[in-house]
């Protein structure tokens, strides 16, 4: 059979959009072409002022930033960007002898750098590394902790932290939903109404003691003190001291 098997679908279906800030026309054109070949869309700013304009109007997956630019330099662009946006990844494009530039750039919030003259495969590798870091940071942010226990939103489990060792406990759907609501804001008291809305939405009203039933089950699994009750007001998980143990 000559029919080709479909290749694996790319992890990210949306086109990545990159801002290139580079005043050298030859380097700029080479980078824009290489990005296009790699399936990435690019805007090309040829000066610092142009870069600021692009950044104020668009959201980019990454910025490739030359430091030596006419008029407003790359460091100013970077500092301005970081003053209002700490997330957009920035890779500095710097000269071989620009060690001070590299360090200053990293101090000012750049994520990485490549040294000129660079090969595009190196730039693309840095962009892939940034994407991997972004994905693992997202996965890590799906973990909620109050110091004494940690809720893993991916596995729907709670890890109990104790001096004698950690213990992992699996939760039912409703138990998880309740813990997620409480663990999102350790120390905050959530009312019956808030929790019931979280568990049941606006739809079918639960039996009057359904919430107590779930909390009773959670206390059996996690310990009597895992969920505190403030009479007449609601329930809470305590704010632990040492998060991330
Ligand atoms: Ca330059």
pLDDT by residue (tens digit) across 81-124? 999 988 899 999 988 777 888 888 989 999 999 999 999 999 99
Q: How far is the CA of 3 from the centre of ligand 1 (A)?
A: 48
Q: How far is the CA of 92 from the centre of ligand 1 (A)?
A: 11
pTM, full prediction: 0.58
- The Cα 148–Cα 183 span in angstroms is 11
Looking at per-residue confidence, does 243 or 198 come out higher? 198
DSSP secondary structure letters along 34-73: HHHHTT-EEEEESSHHHHHHHHHH---SEEEEES--SSS-
Q: How far is the CA of 45 from the centre of ligand 1 (A)?
A: 11
pLDDT of residue 13: 42
Q: How far is the CA of 93 from the centre of ligand 1 (A)?
A: 9
- Please work out, in degrees rounded to the nearest 5, the angle formed at the alpha carbon of residue 130 by the alpha carbons of 127 and 131: 90
Q: How far is the CA of 40 from the centre of ligand 1 (A)?
A: 22
Phi, psi of 23 (to 5 degrees): -90, -15
- Please work out, in degrees rounded to the nearest 5, the angle formed at the alpha carbon of residue 115 by the alpha carbons of 114 and 118: 85
Q: How far is the CA of 68 from the centre of ligand 1 (A)?
A: 4
Q: What is the mean pLDDT of residues 40-52?
A: 96
Sign of the dihedral through C-alpha 75, 77, 80, 86: negative
Does residue 201 have a pLDDT over 70?
yes
Average pLDDT, the chain: 87
158, 179 contact by CB (below 8 A): yes
| C-alpha closest to that of 82 among 100, 58, 55 | 55
Residue keyed to tokens 């301005």: 80
Does residue 186 have a pLDDT over 70?
yes
Does residue 203 have a pLDDT over 90?
no
| C-alpha closest to that of 239 among 140, 142, 143, 149 | 149
Q: How far is the CA of 123 from the centre of ligand 1 (A)?
A: 16
Q: How far is the CA of 232 from the centre of ligand 1 (A)?
A: 65
Q: How far is the CA of 31 from the centre of ligand 1 (A)?
A: 13
Q: How far is the CA of 73 from the centre of ligand 1 (A)?
A: 9
- The Cα 209–Cα 76 span in angstroms is 60
Cα–Cα distances (Å) from 209 to 3, 42, 192, 212, 215, in that order, read 61, 57, 11, 5, 10
Q: How far is the CA of 91 from the centre of ligand 1 (A)?
A: 14
Please tell me the least confidently modeled range out of 48-62, 97-111, 231-245. 231-245
Q: How far is the CA of 181 from the centre of ligand 1 (A)?
A: 50
Q: How far is the CA of 16 from the centre of ligand 1 (A)?
A: 24
Does residue 241 have a pLDDT over 70?
no
Phi, psi of 144 (to 5 degrees): -115, 130
User: Which distant-in-sequence residues (6+ apart) come within 8 Å of 65 by Cβ?
Assistant: 21, 51, 74, 77, 78, 90, 91, 92, 93, 105, 110
Q: What is the mean pLDDT of residues 14-25?
A: 90
- The Cα 159–Cα 145 span in angstroms is 9
Residue keyed to tokens 């040492």: 242
């Amino acid at each position: 059979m000559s029919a080709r098997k479909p290749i694996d679908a790319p992890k990210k279906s949306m086109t990545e959009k990159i801002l290139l800030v580079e005043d050298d026309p030859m380097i700029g054109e080479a980078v824009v072409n290489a990005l296009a070949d790699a399936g990435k869309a690019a805007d090309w700013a040829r000066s610092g002022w142009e870069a600021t304009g692009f950044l104020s109007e668009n959201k980019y997956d990454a910025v490739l930033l030359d430091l030596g630019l006419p008029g407003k330099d790359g460091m100013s662009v970077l500092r301005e960007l970081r003053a209002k946006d700490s997330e957009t990844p920035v890779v500095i494009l710097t000269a071989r002898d620009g060690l001070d530039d590299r360090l200053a750039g990293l101090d000012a919030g750049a994520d990485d750098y490549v040294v000129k003259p660079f090969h595009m495969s190196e730039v693309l590798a840095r962009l892939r590394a940034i994407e991997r870091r972004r994905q693992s940071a997202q996965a890590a942010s799906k973990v909620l902790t109050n110091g004494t226990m940690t809720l893993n939103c991916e596995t729907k489990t709670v890890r109990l932290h104790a001096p004698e060792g950690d213990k992992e406990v699996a939760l039912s759907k409703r138990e998880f939903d309740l813990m997620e609501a409480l663990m999102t804001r350790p120390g905050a008291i959530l009312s019956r109404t808030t929790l019931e809305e979280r568990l049941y939405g606006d739809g079918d009203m639960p039996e009057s003691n359904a919430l107590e039933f779930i909390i009773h089950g959670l206390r059996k699994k996690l310990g009597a003190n895992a969920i505190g009750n403030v009479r007449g007001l609601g329930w809470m998980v305590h704010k632990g001291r040492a998060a991330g143990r």
